[in-house]
Structure 1
């Protein structure tokens, strides 16, 4: 119940704060798309002074508060995957939609990242995880669906979608995503176990044997003399 109340309060706070003050990212130097080799040329300077391992693991800030250093990183590289994950973890740890020192809310940083780099599948996946952690299942599903359309062969996305649909008790969809995730090599059995517990798991049919893989006739060996 406490988690539910926190999630609802956090969602409401995020919505009001985002609507009030979440301007779009404007590219400047150094900065830009975290997935672009060209833009990343300026990444070292930003990380050297604001995103150390201690900041990433929420151990200690470099120039001030953790929120301020992570915020600075995201103001230069809005879709910096590890910084987004750290900001989300900081918000969850402090039970705050806008951690101290952060210029915007956690959700705003994700919205800025996705608006600037809508092709970035990882940013959407991290946002989906954050939304799930705050009880915003419907919005999380939107982000995971969008990520799936961008990268249909990404096993982790298929797995997470399967978990979402299990939670919604939409087992046909959950099973379809599960089959795809495991066919793509996803290693964790959690989704399969959930479907088994619900009596909805079906083992995939064996892969058809193509003509190329069919065993050939044995080659006769001449008798030894």
Structure 2
């Protein structure tokens, strides 16, 4: 699936400093609209919500959900019709759970109704709820950018990537996605600058390099004392 080429799962780290845990009294309302213009809606629950950026401070809360709902089979989308209901439960408890957000994006881009796609909400609704709940989360912004880009909403995707970069200026995954988007828009000056930053930092994905090479825009991107990512 092409989406996987634009996301390095090892980069979904986010900010994990030890901060006070959120209580279940901090609401995470459903906000915004679907791409079709209907209000975002979803079920409520008595567990959570908890901020994924605070997961290191409250690991036991995360373990409960990941052990029983966001299992490896659910994350890998191989649990049949149980996939979406369990991702939905995870995101209702942890609205900005990065890997669960990425999983629901994958489900909808695959269009696999066998996964129970008719249940739960849509990716844009989960993502809007996540950003409303945790507006300082750079990874949630990046994930929304990836989804918007895949849905052809390029200008909105650019804004999401740029906000993610503002929140986390050293996040190479964000810079990589910005570079890809600039390259696809034909802005090779910006794309080359982002490529220089990410590959001089040792970023592993080759898609941006390959796109620049195919456009004859790769030469001179890397500094002389930097190893090639080949």
Fold in common (TM above 0.5) = yes
Q: Distance in 2 between matches of 1:186 and 1:129?
A: 18
Partner residue, 2:53: 35
Tell me: CA distance 1:41–1:30, structure 2 relative to 1, closer, same or farther (3 Å): farther
After TM superposition, the score normalised by the length of structure 2 is: 0.71
The two structures, once aligned, show a CA RMSD in angstroms of: 2.7
Give the equivalent residue in structure 2 for 1:14. 34
CA shift for structure 1 position 162: 0.9
Structure 1 unpaired stretches of 5+? 1-12, 208-225
**C-alpha distance in structure 2 between counterparts of 1:45 and 1:205, whole Å:** 47
CA distance in 2: counterparts of 1:174 and 1:202, whole angstroms: 13
Structure 2 unaligned segments of length 5 or more: list them: 1-32, 226-230
In the alignment, the residues of structure 1 paired with residue 212 and residue 132 of structure 2 have an alpha-carbon distance, to the nearest angstrom, of 35
Question: Does the 8 Å CA contact 1:31/1:43 hold for their aligned counterparts?
Answer: no
Question: TM-score of the superposition, structure 1-length normalised?
Answer: 0.73
User: Which of these residues, 49, 62, 68, is aligned with residue 85 of structure 2?
Assistant: 68
Which structure ranks higher in relative contact order (CA pairs < 8 Å, sequence separation ≥ 6)? 2
Structure 2: distance between partners of 1:87 and 1:16: 18
Aligned to 1:180: 197
Hey, what's the Cα distance between the residues in 1 that align with 2:41 and 2:198? 35
**2:215 is matched with which residue?**
198
Aligned partner of 2:119 in structure 1 is: 101
The corresponding residue for 1:117 is 134
1:119-177 superposed Cα distances (whole Å, 9 cap, x missing partner): 22222222222222222222221111111111222222212111100111111111111
CA distance in 1, matches of 2:66, 2:213: 45
Mean alpha-carbon deviation: is it higher for 80-89 or for 198-207?
198-207
Which of the residues 78, 92, 101 maps onto 1:59? 78
Cα distance change on mapping 1:187 and 1:42 into 2, 3 Å: closer
Question: For 2:144 and 2:63, how far apart are their aligned partners in 1?
Answer: 24
